[in-house]
Each structure stands twice: as structure tokens, then as C-alpha cells.
Amino acid sequence: MDAKVTYVDGLQFVGECASGHAIVMDGDREVGGRNTGPRPTELLLIGLGGCSGMDIVSILKKKKQEVKGVEIVVKGEKAENYPKKFTDISIEFTVRGKSISDEAVKRAVELSMEKYCSVKATLEGSAKVEWSYKIVEE
């Protein structure tokens, strides 16, 4: 897996990945950025949500669950001192669908968090990651 990050101006960078996609990153105005894109740390939280979400949806589909939607809220607490790394991260999964099994969702979340999600595994030992889930019947 490869990525290339190129400086543009101010604090703006463009990240490109081997799959051909690109994303603009930038800093807050108060630190010299122009706020034209997400911060790299925000992308880390998004990556964690996306990684685990893909796992969970794939697992639930294999279990023949009628998933209509999934929302993942990821919140990160950062240390006050540099490098201001994430110390605590919480993830709340909301699965919407028809007759969704609580046991299937619980197992899918556990499998993602404990076995499959490479982003979560990368954070092991660096940040405490807690998760919860809820099911919304449609």
C-alpha cells in the first residue's frame, strides 16, 4: 500500500493513494491554514470509522441481516502536550434495519474491533478504544 502527500501552500497538502483517489488536507486558520480540508487527525478517526464500518456491514450481510443503514460516530480525546496523540477514542455504531439481530450486531462489532479492523489494530497500545452499538428498527 502506497500514498504520496504533496505540499500545496500554507498548510495545505494533497494526499494521493495507489487506488487513484486524492484528498485535500489543511490546517485551521489560526495556525496558518485556510481550512480547505480535514486535518490529518480527523482523517485518522474517519479511517477508523470506515474500516470498522466496512467490516461490520460485510459480516452482517453474510449473516443475512437486512441492514438499511449504518452510522458510526467516532470521538477522540487528545493529550494536551505534543505530540498531542489520541489517548481515548470512543466509537458508537448505529445499525438501522428490519428485524436486525442484537447478537449478530454484537458479534460483528466484536469481530471488527478485536480481529479485522487494521486501523483499530494499529492504534492498539497507543489509545484506549471503547465501542458501543445500538440498533434502530425500521
Same fold flag, 1-38 and 40-137: no
Model confidence pLDDT, tens digit, residues 57-78: 999 999 999 999 999 999 999 9
Structurally, what CATH architecture does the domain formed by 40-137 represent? Answer: 2-Layer Sandwich (3.30)
pTM, two decimals, is 0.94
Sheet with 22-25, strands from edge to edge, namely 3-9, 12-17, 22-25
| Annotated domain spans of the chain | 1-38, 40-137
CA dist., res. 43 & res. 119, Å (int): 11
Per-residue confidence (pLDDT) for residue 94, from 0 to 100: 98
- For the chain, the 3-state helix, strand and coil shares in percent, each to the nearest 5, are 35, 40, 30
CATH class of 1-38: mainly beta
pLDDT in tens, the chain (138 residues): 899 999 999 999 999 999 999 999 999 999 999 999 999 999 999 999 999 999 999 999 999 999 999 999 999 999 999 999 999 999 999 999 999 999 999 999 999 999 999 999 999 999 999 999 999 999
